[in-house]
Structure 1
Amino acid sequence: MDDNRPHGRKKTYGGPTTGGYKRGDGLGTGPVGSQDGYAGRKTGSGSVGKRAAAGGGGTILLLVIGFILLKSCSGGGALSDLGGLAENFSGLQGGELPYQSQQNDTEYVAPSAEPVNTSVASGSRAKYTEILGNNKDTVTLMLYVCGTDLESKSGMASSDLQEIASSRYGDNVNVIVYTGGCKGWKTSGISTSVNQIYQLTDGKLRTLEKDMGNKAMTDPATLSEFIRYCAKNFPANRNDLIFWDHGGGSVTGYGYDEKLRNGGSMSLAGISKALRDGGVKFDFVGFDACLMATAETALMLNDYADYMVASEETEPGIGWYYTDWMTKLGSNTSISTLELGKSICDDFTSACARRCPGQKTTLSVIDLAEFANTVPSQLSAFADSISNKLTNKEYQDVSDARYHSREFATSSKIDQVDLVDLAMNMNTDEGKKLADALQKAVKYNRTSSNMTNAYG
């Protein structure tokens, strides 16, 4: 059975993407969104080409159904050092990042000089988070790490924890890590039998809770328990949450628990329940996972956060690069969320260009308050205009627009496209107004040099 498993973020051999991995390769036929786990399912080819069937009748029907669905959216214990872990994570196997021996750095790619869009559309709600300024803010970063095969096979979670440990921040930044969902951690001391909570401080992992039970990481109750724990024990005026694992987009959601795989993934409805029960309003919610920058995700998150940082496309296995933007946050806890989000996007894009050249990448910062304020009405009008075209049997217009739109995770056949590109390809007044609203709500968007028509 194992030989038939699709390997998430599988290494690609040959061509310009040698040494690359994807967070979510084979989604829809693999861990994310599959109630029966990997059993009997084959991996996708990993091709980034356009599907030959794009624009067919089935795709048009799914597209219209998706618009109709979118229209209905509305928006502890005492500290103790973990044995076996030295200051610089020497507990990692070999003492190095697991992917370093397989990937060659290329010339450094400088961060984008493009400024963030700080404007906000009138009528948008006030932000939940009030930044005090003058470096007086306290930050709690909640890192929800479902290690799964990304960690057990390649040590990718351990690599990211090491990146955070290499950053510099003081007592006014709390980095709290929840671990689980993995059969074999590369960092010695992290349990494979039970979930645990750690604090990353002074370059070390320190145990906060050594036994949180063997709970599915894709169960909303597990996430909400972690959020409440952080709010109680590490109160802050700025709270941030990062989902770490596989991602499957709007249809299948987040996560795959390698140990409790029958739990499936955490749907958008499940994420909403977890955040509602957690009772915290977030400065930003980020997805260090594939395919989560969607309209549905943004509309769902509006009730719980001010900004979303996520990728439209699949992510290379190295994921976000944490050291530099964490150091920037540590040096100024009053940094604006947009500037911090820009750093996250720039660092990710530059690291991927160095370590896995040739792979297409996207990462954006979305103002959720503006998105919920301006997009739904334009999306509704756009959906009505498409319905009218179908009623008038103008099928070719819709088919051509869909066929020429930027599609993501093409080998997984999840029918997820860039909504701005689709709206502009329709070449209607409704499409142009929707594209304008979407682009204004995306405050910063960074892509690899080989990615086109991905607007965030």
Structure 2
Amino acid sequence: MKALVWKFLVLVLVVFIMGQVGGSCSNCIDLLVVITSPTNGSTVSDMVELKASVVGSLASSVTRVEFTITGGPYPPSIFTAYPPSYSTDWDTTTFVNGTYSIKAKAYASGGTTRESPTISVTVNNDIKWTFMVYINGDNNLESVVQADLNEMMAVGSTNKLDIIVQVDKYQESGCWRYKVNQGTLTTLATLPEQDFGDPNVLLNFIDWAMTNYPASRYVLVIWDHGGGWRRKAGEAIKGISYDDHGSHIDTVELGNVFASISRPIHIVGMDACLMQMEEVAHQIMFRGYYLVASEETIPGNGWPYDDILQELKNNPNIELSTFTEKIVNHYVAEYPGGGVTLSSRILYSREVAYKANDLAHAIRNNQNAWGTVKEIISSTQRYYYSDYKDLYDFAKRLKDNGLIPTAIKNAAQAVMNAINNVVIAEGHNGTSMANSHGISIWLPHSTDQLNAGKAGYSLLDFAHDTEWDEMLDDLY
């Protein structure tokens, strides 16, 4: 009844404004915006349509409507909708349960703006998790597959948590889908031998798990060797999920997988080496909320799944960002001997890419500084592949160097600010990792390194969208 009353009031107001009652209207309002979905006072869950109606003499010139949602422990969130529908989606599962206020603001040509009345809604999601693990043990990591399965079985699935794995092994033909219960594995499917380096095999697993184990929050962990984006001369682009009986998933293919899934994955985890790169994040950003991965290599024992899953079992209502922070903390604590990194970052923001592009542009426009920039690249925090370097450390060294022009310094500071904005948690152990800040990037320090990688790099979205590769060409 409340929804019907609200819609009726909106209709009456629109009809009155447009002068359709009793003849023409000489003093019609120029612009009015009203939220039509969700309705005021309603309770919402899962994916919700945000929709507005705009009327008035300037309605046809409205270029966008911004919905601002306030409430909970978050800063205001802005969702933008465009004509003609002025509709967009709000995934309420990324917000804690509680009451939120929503206001719409319409932007018309000539700078005219109008705001809607504020409405209030209650988010009430019955939080359930599906924790998917794609375990490619069809290689020299086969010996540690069972150890990680044992860690998962130490916790097991609950009525709020489904732990679903697909496992391939080197010395056994076939692969298996399991539901991990406390102390046991329940076989869900036995499949013929699969090439876990085929992106379609990964996509099929994701779609199957999300269809058969629907949840309000999804985690996908890709478990295997990793190599960031990198390729060597004569090789395909290195990526993730290396199958010694088949191939591997390169970075472009990984992006295609994420573009093809039916709905976003809330947390993407890479229990694989060297995957916390801006180039990798940029390739998959529109189908995930958070990425948890390492700038450096990962020890064979990988993530401590017992500690990580216990967090979900103890508190299924945990916030997404808080859970990613817990993953980072448990992992770093697992390896006190040093030489490890792990970080959590926001995936759906392009801020780092934009600012990295601005930095590349500033460097290209200051040729007199190129020699100093190359010296700084050589001294920047590096990882197992020496042309993978920490982006924040590079920017900080530029900013702190007295020979660097102001334009580059300012752009470098903007990169540092952007990284601080998107990195949720970062941890590392060991003096060799001391200048790690959570995001690495390709920074070759020689012509040979550049030439070995540039052909593969040019295929990446990050290379298409920024001047980073052009900057490297200029430097070397």
Q: What interval of TM-score do these two structures reach, taking the shorter chain for normalisation?
A: 0.5 to 0.7
Match in the other structure for 1:401: 376
SS for the counterpart of 1:249 is coil
Q: 1:331 to 1:168 in 2, by over 3 A?
A: farther
Counterpart selection for 2:339 from 356, 360, 366: 360
Aligned equivalents of 1:301, 1:124: Cα separation in 2: 20
Question: How far apart are residue 325 of structure 1 and its match?
Answer: 2.0
Q: 1:387 to 1:124 in 2, by over 3 A?
A: farther
Is the 2:268–2:292 contact (alpha carbons within 8 Å) kept by the matching residues of 1?
Answer: yes
Match in the other structure for 1:330: 313
Question: How far apart are residue 440 of structure 1 and its match?
Answer: 1.7
The aligned amino acid for 1:433 is A
Higher radius of gyration, 1 or 2: 2
Is the aligned partner of 1:444 residue 2:421?
no
Alignment of 1:201-220 (within 5 A): 201-211=181-191, 213-220=192-199
Match in the other structure for 2:135: 145
Aligned equivalents of 1:318, 1:209: Cα separation in 2: 26
Is the aligned partner of 1:385 residue 2:372?
no
Is the aligned partner of 1:416 residue 2:388?
yes
> Which has the higher mean CA deviation after the structures are superposed, 377-386 or 283-292?
377-386
Counterpart selection for 1:425 from 387, 397, 415: 397
Aligned equivalents of 1:304, 1:196: Cα separation in 2: 26
Is the 2:340–2:428 contact (alpha carbons within 8 Å) kept by the matching residues of 1?
Answer: yes
> Which has the higher mean CA deviation after the structures are superposed, 285-294 or 269-278?
269-278
Is the aligned partner of 1:171 residue 2:159?
yes
Alignment of 1:13-24 (within 5 A): none
Deviation readout 1:120-169 (Å, 9 max, x if unpaired): 697688667445648931111110000133433xx212111111111255
Is the aligned partner of 1:228 residue 2:217?
no
Aligned equivalents of 1:127, 1:171: Cα separation in 2: 22
Q: 1:248 to 1:128 in 2, by over 3 A?
A: farther
Is the 2:341–2:429 contact (alpha carbons within 8 Å) kept by the matching residues of 1?
Answer: yes
**Whose relative contact order is higher, 1 or 2, with alpha carbons under 8 Å and at least 6 apart?**
1
Aligned equivalents of 1:367, 1:219: Cα separation in 2: 27
Q: 1:122 to 1:449 in 2, by over 3 A?
A: farther
Aligned equivalents of 1:124, 1:424: Cα separation in 2: 32
**TM-score of the pair, normalised by structure 1:** 0.65
Is the 2:141–2:300 contact (alpha carbons within 8 Å) kept by the matching residues of 1?
Answer: no
Match in the other structure for 1:274: 257
**TM-score of the pair, normalised by structure 2:** 0.62
SS for the counterpart of 2:242 is coil
* Structure with the larger strand share: 2
Match in the other structure for 2:149: 161
The aligned amino acid for 1:381 is D
The aligned amino acid for 2:240 is Y
Deviation readout 1:65-94 (Å, 9 max, x if unpaired): xxxxxxxxxxxxxxxxxxxxxxxxxxxxxx
Aligned equivalents of 1:269, 1:163: Cα separation in 2: 32
Aligned equivalents of 1:405, 1:120: Cα separation in 2: 34
Is the 1:293–1:310 contact (alpha carbons within 8 Å) kept by the matching residues of 2?
Answer: yes
Question: How far apart are residue 253 of structure 1 and its match?
Answer: 1.2
Match in the other structure for 2:245: 259
Aligned equivalents of 1:120, 1:299: Cα separation in 2: 24
Question: How far apart are residue 376 of structure 1 and its match?
Answer: 2.6
SS for the counterpart of 1:315 is coil
Is the 2:157–2:163 contact (alpha carbons within 8 Å) kept by the matching residues of 1?
Answer: no
Aligned equivalents of 1:376, 1:147: Cα separation in 2: 33
Is the 2:94–2:320 contact (alpha carbons within 8 Å) kept by the matching residues of 1?
Answer: no
Match in the other structure for 2:224: 245
The aligned amino acid for 2:151 is E
> Which has the higher mean CA deviation after the structures are superposed, 287-296 or 334-343?
334-343
Is the 2:156–2:163 contact (alpha carbons within 8 Å) kept by the matching residues of 1?
Answer: no
The aligned amino acid for 1:258 is D
- Say what the alpha-carbon RMSD is for the aligned residues: 2.1
Aligned equivalents of 1:430, 1:122: Cα separation in 2: 26
Is the 2:380–2:394 contact (alpha carbons within 8 Å) kept by the matching residues of 1?
Answer: yes
Aligned equivalents of 1:242, 1:131: Cα separation in 2: 22
Deviation readout 1:332-374 (Å, 9 max, x if unpaired): 2110112111111111111111xxx2x41111110123x32x2
The aligned amino acid for 1:318 is N
Q: Percent identity?
A: 26
Is the 2:180–2:186 contact (alpha carbons within 8 Å) kept by the matching residues of 1?
Answer: yes
Match in the other structure for 1:304: 287
Q: 1:135 to 1:124 in 2, by over 3 A?
A: closer
Q: 1:123 to 1:381 in 2, by over 3 A?
A: farther
The aligned amino acid for 1:420 is Y
Deviation readout 1:219-277 (Å, 9 max, x if unpaired): 110011101111111111111100000010122111210222xx2x2112111112222
Q: Would you say how many aligned residue pairs link Structure 1 and Structure 2?
A: 314
Is the 1:225–1:278 contact (alpha carbons within 8 Å) kept by the matching residues of 2?
Answer: no
Is the 2:138–2:243 contact (alpha carbons within 8 Å) kept by the matching residues of 1?
Answer: yes
Q: 1:443 to 1:366 in 2, by over 3 A?
A: same
Deviation readout 1:388-411 (Å, 9 max, x if unpaired): 23xx243321111101110110xx
Is the aligned partner of 1:289 residue 2:272?
yes
